[in-house]
Amino acid sequence: MVAATLTVENHLPADFIARTLRQDVATGLTADPKWLPPRWFYDDRGSELFDEITRLPEYYPTRAERQILTARAAEIAEVSAATALVELGAGACEKTHLLLDALRAAGSLRTYVPVDVSDGALRTASANLLWDYPGLAVHAVVADFDRHLGLLPVDGHRMVALLGGTIGNLDPARFLADVRATLRPGETLLLGTDLVKSPDVLVPAYDDAQGVTAEFNRNVLNVLNAELGADFETGAFDHVARWDAEHERIEMRLRAQHAMRVRIAEVDLTVDLRRGEEIRTEISAKFRRERVVALLDAAGFGLTRWWTDDDGLFGLSLATAR
């Protein structure tokens, strides 16, 4: 039996995370209205909270996408004929097993390329895979996939996967164009998209009865306190989740309960907030099939397969680069 192998390629400068955090805070908290990007939710505590969110009864996306992957993984493997799976934002690689198992059963799998900004988490998750997939070459890439797609390995016939509805946090047209620019004709993109549905279903997924999402939202302020020497009174912010029907997206915000002045030492910034003023912390766009098809087409992809879960809550598309 041939042993699996692990190589790690790091494209991030040593100070990338700290420098990017400072830039985002200096830009976002001096804007009007104020904002922070959702990437800063995920310190260790934030990751624990999000894992808890995915198991809440109100939070359907993880369950719905897993149902599709369970039912369609063999078809995905057959149609893509991928010898290399590139997973963007791989994290703990939890959904990866469904795809790896199917690709291995199809006899095509040679290489797995998980991509994430967290060196430690990526190494741990990648090393764990070595026990389960003898003969697999794991080529982990530490990079920001929203900036560094052009640096991805080009070996094999690739399928790039972006799961979890993450595209809803990005500029989808730009992102898809960037992905297409990295792929050769005939290679594929597996894309998870959360679908437009009733606000009665959408809003509770971002504002659960137990308050886990509220704690997750406020945790971004804990990150700023810990990493940048800020003095946010975290408990003085209300969690707000709002459906924007015009733009078909959920917005999460933090609303100040009273006027306050916050000092952020590491960026030499003082932020004044009025009572009721909000900081936007996430935009999560929702999609309709026709919009997904149009975005893929404009970027140079053709839709090859489209699947939804049994309740039509979540979409998974397999698209081929033209």
**What's the CA gap between 216 and 24, in Å, rounded?**
19
- Using DSSP's 3-state secondary structure scheme, residue 249 falls into strand
Mean pLDDT of 59-71: 97
Beta-bridge partner residues of 217? none
pLDDT at 1: 59
Listed residue (37, 41, 33, 40) closest to 277, CA to CA: 33
Tokens of 224: 């700023």
Give Cα 298 distance to the centre of its chain.
Answer: 22
Mean pLDDT of 36-63: 95
Mean pLDDT of 100-113: 95
Instruction: Out of 3-12, 25-34, 269-278, pick the least confident.
Output: 3-12
Tell me the CA distances in angstroms from 239 to 248, 253, 257, one per residue in order: 20, 6, 10
Q: Over the Cα atoms of the chain, what is R_g? A: 20
Q: Which residue has the tokens 């910034």?
A: 269
pLDDT at 55: 96
**What's the CA gap between 164 and 61, in Å, rounded?**
7
pLDDT at 121: 85
Q: What is the pTM of this model?
A: 0.96
pLDDT at 118: 87
| pLDDT tens column, 249-268 | 999 999 999 999 999 999 99
pLDDT above 90 for 303: yes
Mean pLDDT of 230-244: 98
pLDDT at 233: 97
Mean pLDDT of 30-35: 98
Mean pLDDT of 146-163: 92
Mean pLDDT of 28-48: 95
Residues of the chain by 3-state class (helix, strand, coil), percent to 5: 40, 30, 30
Domain spanning 5-10+61-197+287-321: CATH 3.40.190.10: no
Q: Are 256 and 274 in contact (CB under 8 A)?
A: yes
Confidence of residue 127 (pLDDT cuts 50, 70, 90): confident
**What's the CA gap between 322 and 317, in Å, rounded?**
15
Q: Which residue has the tokens 């900081």?
A: 279
Mean pLDDT, all residues of the chain: 95
Q: Domain map of the chain by residue range?
A: 5-10+61-197+287-321
pLDDT above 80 for 65: yes
pLDDT at 52: 96
How are beta strands 249-256 and 237-244 bridged, if at all? antiparallel
Quickly count: other Cβ atoms within 10 Å of residue 274's Cβ.
Answer: 10
DSSP calls for 17-62: HHHHHHHHHHHHTTSSSEE--GGGG-SHHHHHHHHHHTTSTT--HH
Query: What percent of the chain has pLDDT above 90?
Result: 87
pLDDT at 84: 97
**What's the CA gap between 98 and 113, in Å, rounded?**
15
pLDDT above 80 for 209: yes
Give Cα 282 distance to the centre of its chain.
Answer: 12
Give residues with Cβ within 8 angstroms of 290, minimum separation 6: none
**What's the CA gap between 60 and 100, in Å, rounded?**
23
pLDDT above 90 for 178: yes
Tokens of 233: 């009174």
